[in-house]
Structure 1
């Protein structure tokens, strides 16, 4: 990340949001910004490393940022895009967890179960978040306690850099669920459709039209399971309180079970359950998802061309309900 800042100067700015202590060291939680900070232009935020075991998420974010930095030297098209787009990167939200090789942060808290949001019912025991012990997975933190430093740093960055714009998209990169790569959108705490379902469906449509052979399953997270404390539900609800802005939060959930299926020996490695350990497979994963991040960045930049107009929202919502929420339909 330090090399990227040097190579990206003067266009790439670095911010230290906080630092965390682990094993006698203090590790910085860093963010990087590119492009136009004007609130009238759209913004995109790309995040990784929320779970320390899911190293591939941080690597995808850094690979994409590295590609942009390399293009800054010669790509006039990118420079024109950055005149009308704000880009924010937080490649390693949980450096202490990455250092320790744990899902949780050094305090044992699962950052994606740490927000003050309660599931409306049906959240699976343990997996949906628990307050029993930090020694068990999916620990939310003590009831009534402030959010963890890393969680608050992410939320503060989103409020400052995304919710300050009239339109923004976020992408949070994870791994570890199923045999398919998924793009999830809120809610995680309830199966009730979000307010901006028409806009989400319009985005899914342009992905289908632009990348006809893509392998992503695009769906609400609630179709798989409910959770307490989801950070993106928390931030989306905050965005909905601001009529002057729209935030569309997305989660890239890379299907790591496929990597284990192709290389069963990975089952005997804690890292192998969440990361492609074979070199050529990792490079293939990076290439595939960098293409997705490039698509969604361009979609953010050109949002006014595909966002549904007021008179189109009802039709888009109906199609979205048919695609994602009515029994017997598949995405």
Structure 2
């Protein structure tokens, strides 16, 4: 854990938090903004802000964009902030966007772990990895430490004590998802991360088991539409269990708690940081550089590259009546999805 002396030397705030507050002020004409939790650390207080815009109909499709669950992974936060900036600019003139927002609602939570981002740690100020903090355990063995551990916060990937309440940030995120996304007939969530890897990935449940998620046909249809619209996207789009299993995944927990009659599709965008390190190996000597592009032009390239994905999800929510599988077609999609993701993977 970060020592009190080290915390006292840190600045009052951090760039991403200041940027978010400026955007909330600039977009106050359109965004509904509220704090769903607050974190106090070393005499400083940070709010977990949620900004939303669009239809007030509680049954309208919704999309949530999340970032900064791991405090070191600032590029995910920058991606959501850049999307908010684009929305604010376009709401001045974009008639198509305004018509879209009459039928859908968009939620943006760019900094889910403000205390960790301020302190430049992966975990929150209590040393807990929020993406290992949900109560469920994996069905099978998980990678040592990385799959989630309860030994203590002095080691990475700490889940928290077994019988302790969830961390305030994780509990607030799950409550928000439950009340504003999963309660609707259709909703998506995209959680933006970065981590070791040579390519960018889109992962979906499950992380705790190799079993099929109940909405596999809908996820396969979404993947198919995205690939047809952006055939050179370059993402590996797959269940997270294809990579590794883990305990306490927040999105597994949120998905399993969603009403069975609703279609809630959570996804994690995992940006491959080895792509940036390969071009600038000196980044290995910086904790920030292991998870984020350091050069300004590479950061700008990342922000441009992934904008298509965020825009696609809002359009898919808007046009859901045209593509959501029904009847016998849904069974066909399930067969294709199993063949693509599970039988092909076992060959």
1:16 aligns with 2:35: yes
Aligned partner of 2:277 in structure 1 is 260
For the 8 Å contact 1:322–1:329, the answer to whether it is kept is no
TM-score by length of 2: 0.92
Distance 1:17 1:176 in 2: 27
Of residues 64, 67, 91, the one that matches 1:72 is: 91
1:325 aligns with 2:342: yes
| Helix, strand or coil at the partner of 2:343 | coil
Distance 1:44 1:213 in 2: 23
Residues 182-228 of structure 1, C-alpha deviations (whole Å, 9 max, x = no match): 00000000011100000000000001100011111100000000000
For the 8 Å contact 1:38–1:165, the answer to whether it is kept is no
Offset at residue 328 of structure 1 (A): 4.5
Aligned partner of 1:305 in structure 2 is 322
Distance 1:77 1:231 in 2: 34
1:315 aligns with 2:328: no
Which stretches of structure 1, 4 residues or longer, exceed 6 Å deviation after superposition? none
Aligned partner of 1:187 in structure 2 is 206
1:155 aligns with 2:177: no
1:121 aligns with 2:111: no
| Helix, strand or coil at the partner of 2:52 | strand
1:90 aligns with 2:109: yes
Distance 2:266 2:44 in 1: 32
Aligned partner of 1:42 in structure 2 is 61
RMSD (Å) for aligned C-alpha atoms:
1.2
Distance 1:302 1:253 in 2: 26
Aligned partner of 2:220 in structure 1 is 201
Structure 2 residue runs of 5 or longer lacking an equivalent are 1-19
Aligned partner of 2:184 in structure 1 is 165
Offset at residue 329 of structure 1 (A): 6.5
TM-score by length of 1: 0.97
For the 8 Å contact 1:45–1:171, the answer to whether it is kept is yes
Aligned partner of 2:264 in structure 1 is 247
1:109 aligns with 2:133: no
Distance 1:129 1:9 in 2: 39
1:140 aligns with 2:159: yes
Distance 2:341 2:168 in 1: 35
Distance 1:319 1:23 in 2: 53
Offset at residue 304 of structure 1 (A): 1.7
Offset at residue 156 of structure 1 (A): 1.0
Residues 143-173 of structure 1, C-alpha deviations (whole Å, 9 max, x = no match): 0111000001101111121122111000000
Distance 2:345 2:188 in 1: 29
Offset at residue 296 of structure 1 (A): 1.3
Structure 1 residue runs of 5 or longer lacking an equivalent are none
| Helix, strand or coil at the partner of 2:306 | helix
Of residues 65, 75, 79, the one that matches 1:56 is: 75
Higher alpha-carbon deviation: 281-290 or 3-12: 3-12
For the 8 Å contact 1:119–1:228, the answer to whether it is kept is yes
